[in-house]
Structure 1
Amino acid sequence: MKKLMCTEAKQIDMVEYLASLGHHPQKVRNQDYWYLSPLREETVASFKVNRRLNVWFDQGTGKGGDLIDFGTLYFNCSVSDLLQRLSQYHPGPAFSFHPHSGSGDRRQSAASFAGEKKDTPDNKIVVLDTRPLAEQSLLNYLQKRSIPLEIATRFCREVDFLLYGKQHTVIGFQNKAGGYELRNEYFKGSSSPKDITFIDNRTEQVAVFEGFFSFLSLQTINSNKQAPLSNCLVLNSLSFLEKCRPLMEQYKQVHLILDRDNAGRNRTRLALEWDASKYIDRSDFYHGHKDLNDWLVHLYHSQSIGPRMGKRL
């Protein structure tokens, strides 16, 4: 499939694209569509898309731009990688590659879509089936993220889910309430209910992760370690950090392995303010990278994984 050019990608309607990722407006005022930010956790919608201009602005971070700016932040990837994603994405009922247009029919259709109630079945993720990881595209994605299959198989499942009448197959990481974090190369979302994942290795320490690929990365880095790893708390959402404080306080040491973006750094600083002797910022280990998995991928690609893997978190 031919790779999209930036000019073509910027014509993709942002409202439809956000819907394809499972994000829907909380309110619509004229051409302004307001969302709970897809880039961070919040309870009041402050992420605005102006559909006429096809641009976005996140009031919580002060960032904004076009679809390219959004996609590279959302997927933590390069422009080239994003264009590849967009080129290979299969359009669904709520997503198409037609140029953004200000026609009357288009606006009427958009208003009608945005006015639908959020609890309609089509725009909710419905998990259909789970099974051991086997789909080749998912195995290729794990390889791209430098996660060995034997490690992913221990903690993840292959999940079929339905969204907007279309079935998708992804990697699923289950939380303690039975919901799943859902990922493949072209999709990032979660099924309800949203919750944390806790792995109890019966130690006096706990390592805290923002997302499950950082957790899988730690398992990869320490795969040859004989002693049991610390307990692991995967937040699946930074909004759960403060709610998990009573759980974390039960342990002698809490190792913070959060993302090195603004949101992750802010939550790390908050925890250090609680008790700097208990909470330890371990992000210096992957300094210069967004998160632990980004560090791991970089090392594999630079063919320097051997000597550095002797270092343990």
Structure 2
Amino acid sequence: MNFSNNNFSIEQAKAIDLVDYLKSLGFEPEKIRHNDYWYLSPFRDEKEASFKINRRLNRWYDHGFGKGGNLIDFGIEYYKCSIPELLRNLSGNLSLQQPLLSSLENSVQQEPKIKIVEVNTLTSYSLLRYLEQRTIPVAIAQQFCKEVHYSLNDNTYYGIGFKNDLGGYEIRNPYFKTTASPKGITTFENGSNEVVVFEGFFDYLSFKAMTKNLPENSQDFVILNSVSFFERARPFMENHETIRLYFDQDETGQSYTKRALSLSTKYKDESTLYRNYKDLNDWSVNFGKSKKNNLRHKNS
């Protein structure tokens, strides 16, 4: 998003939507609750979101930091700059990217990076057993996933790898889940006017197992690989007449479902199918065997 304006004033800066501005800096919300957008703090490394934007008020507050305010307050804290410097940055006349780059470099040094060592067909007994426990047929998994061996902290591990559109992998095994960068969404375009959307790839694999008799080109698919990539996936999703959402039943998943339904009548909530379960795969594992015919019938 371009915020450039040759005569940016303080009032104009304050009027910029904070959610859009953080998106332009590469930050996506971890969860949305009504007007509140929760983020991992842009000011430090953390694992639970403590930074909140109230979109109606267009104000932020960092609970770990104990500070908050408008976009001006955020900018001078984030870039460690003066108000005139921030306004010149918003006007496109000054680059204030260095503090962000330094922050990212420090993050890389602190967080060990996963390195892909080898990518093969899924054959490991433990991984095939894990798929069986998740009620996913091996043939379906082998069609869409790989066995990925990767190194981390001088040790080598392996897991079920699901590739995204940027070339990175979501990696799962019975004990661990991680991502080999870059992280992004996964799309399958079959020329359909309908798209089916999932948060994670196990839900997608469960769906493919349940609907294996449907023609391959009957639907397009998006796997977000993180529900925070919802906005990133919107252009692809909204290029379809119907968008079927199979999001998790947790608070975050349902918040994104409600937001989607408020955006367009194209969006359809399909999560009622597994109302009393965490997600589609959980439903399949614990209850879905007796109900799969309903899904096959609905999607045909």
Q: Scaled by the length of structure 1, what TM-score is found?
A: 0.62
Matches within 5 A, 1:88-99: none
Distance 1:57 1:243, change over 3 A: closer
**Equivalent in the alignment of 1:282:** 270
SS at match of 1:250: coil
- Tell me, in whole angstroms, the C-alpha distance in 2 between the residues paired with 1:39 and 1:162: 31
Q: Given the superposition, is the C-alpha separation of residues 296 and 155 from structure 1 closer, same or farther in structure 2, using an over 3 Å criterion?
A: same
Give secondary structure in 1 for the equivalent of 2:231: coil
1:160 aligns with 2:149: yes
Pair 306,175 (structure 1): closer, same or farther in 2 beyond 3 Å: closer
**Alignment match, 1:228:** 217
Whether the 8 Å contact between 2:168 and 2:183 is mirrored in structure 1 is yes
Q: Tell whether 2:28 aligns with 1:42.
A: no
Mapping 1:104-253, distance limit 5 Å:
117-120=106-109, 123-226=112-215, 228-253=217-242
Paired residues, number: 215
Q: For 1:286, give the aligned amino acid.
A: Y
**Distance in structure 1 (CA, Å) of the matches to 2:215 and 2:234:** 29
Cα distance, 1:42 vs structure 2: 3.3
For structure 2, list consecutive stretches of 5 or more residues without a partner in the other structure: 1-27, 33-37, 53-104
Whole-angstrom distance in 2 between the partners of 1:284 and 1:46: 38
**Structure 1 residue 291 and structure 2 residue 288: aligned?**
no
Work out the CA distance in 1 between the residues paired with 2:140 and 2:50.
Answer: 39
Tell me the distance in 2 between the aligned counterparts of 1:231 and 1:266: 23
Q: 1:186 to 1:60 in 2, by over 3 A?
A: farther
Task: Looking at secondary structure, tell me which structure has more helix per residue.
Answer: 2
Aligned to 1:123, the other structure's residue is in SS state: coil
Instruction: Report the Cα distance in structure 2 between the residues aligned to 1:211 and 1:155, rounded to whole angstroms.
Output: 13
Residue 251 of structure 2: aligned partner: 262
TM-score scaled by structure 2? Answer: 0.64
Structure 1 runs of 4+ aligned residues shifted over 3 Å read 36-43, 45-49, 56-61, 226-229, 303-313
Q: Given that residues 146 and 161 in structure 2 are in contact (C-alpha distance below 8 angstroms), is that contact kept between their aligned partners in structure 1?
A: yes
Which stretch has the larger CA shift, 160-169 or 236-245? 236-245
Matched residue SS, 1:241: helix
Cα displacement string for residues 26-46 of structure 1 (whole angstroms, at most 9, x for unaligned residues): xxxxxxxxxx99999834269
Counterpart-to-counterpart distance in 1, 2:106 and 2:250: 33
Supply the distance in 2 between the matched residues of 1:269 and 1:259 (Cα, whole angstroms). 12
Indicate conservation of the 8 Å contact 2:30/2:39, yes or no.
no
- Aligned CA distance change for structure 1 residues 48 and 274 (closer, same or farther; 3 Å): same
- The answer to whether the Cα contact below 8 Å between 2:249 and 2:279 also exists between their aligned partners in 1 is yes
| 8 A contact 2:244–2:269 mirrored in 1 | yes
Moved more, 209-218 or 40-49: 40-49
Report the 3-state secondary structure (helix = DSSP H, G, I; strand = E; otherwise coil) of the residue aligned with 1:243: helix
Would you say the 8 A contact 2:30–2:49 is kept in 1?
no
Question: How far off its partner does 1:285 sit?
Answer: 1.1
Q: Could you say what the CA RMSD is over the residues aligned between the two structures, in angstroms? A: 3.0
Q: Partner letter of residue 149 of structure 1?
A: V
Cα distance in 2 between the residues matched to 1:262 and 1:126: 33
Structure 1: state its 5+ residue gaps. Answer: 1-35, 50-55, 62-115
Identity of aligned residues (%): 36
Partners of 1:188 and 1:46 in 2: CA distance: 26
